[in-house]
Amino acid sequence: MKRLISIIGTTGIGKTRLAIDLAKHLDTEIISCDSRQFYKEMRIGTAMPTDTELAEAKHHFVGNLSINDYYSIGLFEEEALKKLDEIFAEKDIAIMVGGSGMYEKAVVEGMNDLPIANEENQQKLISIFENEGIGPLQKLLEELDPEYYSIVDKDNPRRLLRAIDIIWQTRKTYTENLSLPKTKRNFETLRIGIDAPREIIYERINHRVDKMMENGLLEEAKSLIADSDKVALQTVGYSELFRYFDGEWDLDFAVSEIKKNSRRYAKRQTTWNRKLQNVNWVNYDNSLQEALSLLNKID
């Protein structure tokens, strides 16, 4: 049986480093399931692996899209499974890493054979979002599926777009669609979660944001102002700086908001990860050794 090692954890916890070290040790390749790192224009603000890191181990789904491209969880599931088949044709183990829980879950557990995105529906919803903001999408989803609306990340336009599109296509609520039986995978998955005390996570996030600013995040965001209404850019690190460029906030406040919103994102990731099945937790300051020890015990 082929094995997928899925590395999970909050933003800034050290997932990229562990994935690369494991891939080198196991002589295999990495699938990224970080939906923000798909977009080549967003290198700094998404902490995309550096060129040096990318050269250490073969990565897939990093900087492979433009912010002008349409993409979805369904498409990612399809393409990631195809790439895994290619890797498993030569290797017994593959690594997956990233902070986007829904994308990770789609590969590991499946998306209930949900239909791929309907382009007409997506364009209609994107038009509403770009012209009227996120409010109308929130209201629409709440009317169509109050149960899913109560748990979804309401500030994430991609989640809203996907759910509404599926509801329109299937004439069932998204909740009903998610409860359908899933296709069994032809590989086993070992989830390794990196754990750290909350104060360490927050300290790392604050330090990471400072490093992003030093590395040119302000200039990167400035170069994307013309595309600031794109769905991909409605995310932490960019939306705050766009408000600075609009004159709404000063720079220090915008940076403090990036840190605050990143900490909130980490809190949501923690809540999500704690609900996952069969996670093997390792300590952030000894993650490689503990992960290798875990693999030796299993083998």
The predicted model gives 72-99 an average pLDDT of: 95
Residue 133 marked as a ligand binder: no
The predicted model gives 190-218 an average pLDDT of: 97
pLDDT, averaged across the chain: 94
Residue-level pLDDT at 221:
98
Examine the fold and report which residue of 178, 205, 227 is the final residue of a domain before the chain moves on.
Answer: 178
Answer whether residue 271 shows pLDDT above 80.
yes
The CATH number of residue 73's host domain is: 3.40.50.300
Residue 11 marked as a ligand binder: yes
Q: Where are the alpha helices (DSSP H) in the chain?
A: 15-26, 51-56, 73-88, 101-109, 119-132, 135-144, 146-149, 157-170, 174-178, 198-214, 217-222, 239-245, 251-274, 287-298
Q: Alpha-carbon distance 138 to 146, whole Å? A: 10
Residue (of 168, 166, 187, 180) closest to 72 by Cα position = 166
Residue 24 marked as a ligand binder: no
Residue-level pLDDT at 24:
98
Examine the fold and report which residue of 151, 178, 205 is the final residue of a domain before the chain moves on.
Answer: 178
Residue-level pLDDT at 101:
92
Residue-level pLDDT at 181:
72
Residue-level pLDDT at 82:
97
Residue 297 in tokens = 């015990």
Domain containing residue 279: 2-111+182-298
Residue-level pLDDT at 132:
94
Are the beta carbons of 141 and 148 closer than 8 angstroms? yes
39-42 CB contacts, 8 Å cutoff, 24+ apart: 39/63, 39/65, 39/66, 39/67, 39/232, 40/64, 40/65, 40/66, 41/66, 41/67, 41/220, 41/223, 41/224, 41/227, 42/67, 42/220, 42/224, 42/232, 42/233, 42/238
Answer whether residue 184 shows pLDDT above 90.
no
Residues 16 and 134 reside in one and the same domain: no
Residue 225 marked as a ligand binder: no
Residue 52 marked as a ligand binder: no
Answer whether residue 35 shows pLDDT above 80.
yes
The predicted model gives 262-268 an average pLDDT of: 94
Answer whether residue 116 shows pLDDT above 90.
no
Residues 234 and 206 reside in one and the same domain: yes
Q: What are phi and psi of 140, to 5 degrees?
A: -65, -45
167-171 CB contacts, 8 Å cutoff, 24+ apart: 168/118, 168/121, 169/115, 169/118, 169/121, 170/114, 170/115
Residue-level pLDDT at 133:
92
Decide: helix, strand or coil at residue 154. coil
Residue-level pLDDT at 178:
81
Q: How far is CA 104 from CA 5, 131, 169, in A?
A: 11, 31, 24
Answer whether residue 162 shows pLDDT above 80.
yes
Residues 196 and 93 reside in one and the same domain: yes
The predicted model gives 7-14 an average pLDDT of: 96
pLDDT digits (tens, 9 = 90+) for 119-158: 999 999 999 999 999 999 999 999 999 999 988 888 888 8
Residue 9 marked as a ligand binder: yes
Residues 186 and 174 reside in one and the same domain: no
The CATH number of residue 147's host domain is: 1.10.20
Examine the fold and report which residue of 178, 197, 222 is the final residue of a domain before the chain moves on.
Answer: 178
pLDDT digits (tens, 9 = 90+) for 44-84: 999 999 999 999 999 999 999 999 998 888 899 999 999 99
Residues 22 and 161 reside in one and the same domain: no
Q: Count of domains in the chain?
A: 2
Residues 50 and 186 reside in one and the same domain: yes
What is the DSSP code string of 226-286?
Answer: GGTTSGGGSSTTTHHHHHHHTTSS-HHHHHHHHHHHHHHHHHHHHHHHHTSSSEEEEEGGG
